[in-house]
Amino acid sequence: MSEVNLLEKLPRGKRKVQARAEAKTAEVIAKSREYGELYFDGPRNFGYGGYRYDGRWIPVAEDMVKHFQLKTGDRVLDVGCAKGFLVKDLMKVCPGLEVFGLDISEYALMHCEPEVIGRLHLGNAMKLPFPDKSFQAVISLNTIHNLTRDDAAIGIHEIERLAPGRGFIQVDSYHTPEEKDIFEDWVLTAKFHDYPDGWISLFKEVGYTGDWYWTIV
């Protein structure tokens, strides 16, 4: 397993951390963790502030296809797929790739991209409803940290079960106390977060052999 940045070509918007921190309450956090309309398409203080397809995932999808050497007929799963933007773009950049997604948000799946209708499953990362070793790659971006540490361990193990050595997990992290403070001002949904060494210890603890990277606010 190794650290690799597969999202380096994804544009980063400017985050108004102070405004988020000032607006954050226990009620806002609870509503955000429902992963409904407010989280995806409501005001920015509840989450994305409007989660719409704009093609930004295409270069990321291209890098993922190269990284995993994916080809027509291979099966890929996106755990925490939201509205299916990455699922759509993986199919676009590699025609014939069998891509599926899973998400806990019924709202997101009900507002998915037309091209991915029938490919997205309602469920959670702790119980992926697929057989062992049934995918050539399993991707999970900014999802596993929304679980407690114990549940995250289960989710990571599930990813490993479906695609041993061919997973990619990106999670919230920070390198310094200053970055941690900024993250804690910003975060709404993450229940477990840690420095990279803490995450790597968890990966090793559950026998994860895939790749990973960090989302730094």
Tell me the pLDDT tens digit for each residue of 160-207. Answer: 999 999 999 999 999 999 999 999 999 999 999 999 999 999 999 999
Tell me the pLDDT tens digit for each residue of 109-119. Answer: 999 999 999 99
> In angstroms, rounded to a whole number, what is the distance separating the alpha carbons of residues 203 and 19?
34
> In angstroms, rounded to a whole number, what is the distance separating the alpha carbons of residues 81 and 104?
9
> In 10 A of CB 181, how many CB atoms?
14
Report which DSSP code applies to 3. B
What are the structure tokens assigned to 14, written together?
């400017």
Report which DSSP code applies to 136. S
| Average model confidence (pLDDT) across the chain | 96
> In angstroms, rounded to a whole number, what is the distance separating the alpha carbons of residues 191 and 172?
10
Quick one: pLDDT band at residue 122, thresholds 50, 70, 90?
very high
Quick one: pLDDT band at residue 134, thresholds 50, 70, 90?
very high
> In 10 A of CB 131, how many CB atoms?
9
What domains lie within the chain, and their CATH numbers? 17-215 (3.40.50.150)
